[in-house]
Amino acid sequence: MKFVFQFARIVGFCLLGEALAAVLPLPIPASVYGLLLMVAALKLRLLRLEQVRETGLFLTGIFPLLFVPAASGVMELGSQLADVFVPVVIAIIPITALVMAVTGLVAQHCTAGQEVESHE
């Protein structure tokens, strides 16, 4: 039953993100709004990590499985994608590097001054 309540909290933030995306005229996906709201709630201690930890770990554990439908859809469109393969690859490589760099910098900024727990 604990997982149901944790999942409901996560879905609640997703719904708030959908509402913000419908109201605000910015080109930002609803999932990003929901994620930012959840991070803000965690930082402001309106939501405790223990209230979503197990379900969050479960969802990140099955994350690769969630890409299977998208990957199979891309495989069906392979012939159409062949025409734009080179431009797509040229666009993906620098964007991926940029996302990795920004993610690393944000993670370093968020963990600055915090001691890392040893799992030995």
Task: Give pLDDT tens digits along the chain (120 positions).
Answer: 899 999 999 999 999 999 999 999 999 999 999 999 999 999 999 999 999 999 999 998 998 888 888 778 777 877 787 888 888 889 999 999 999 999 999 989 888 766 655 555
Model pTM score: 0.63
* Res 113: pLDDT: 67
Burial 60-77 (b: 16+ CB within 10 A, else e): eeeeeeeeeeeeeeeeee
By CB atoms closer than 10 A (0-12, 13-18, 19+), residue 18 is middle
User: Over the stretch 21-51, which tens digit does the pLDDT of each residue have?
Assistant: 999 999 999 999 999 999 999 999 999 999 9
Contact (Cβ atoms closer than 8 angstroms) between residue 18 and residue 30: yes
Q: What distance in Å separates the CA atoms of residue 118 and residue 82, rounded to the nearest whole number?
A: 47
* Res 117: pLDDT: 59
Q: What distance in Å separates the CA atoms of residue 93 and residue 119, rounded to the nearest whole number?
A: 34
* Res 33: pLDDT: 96
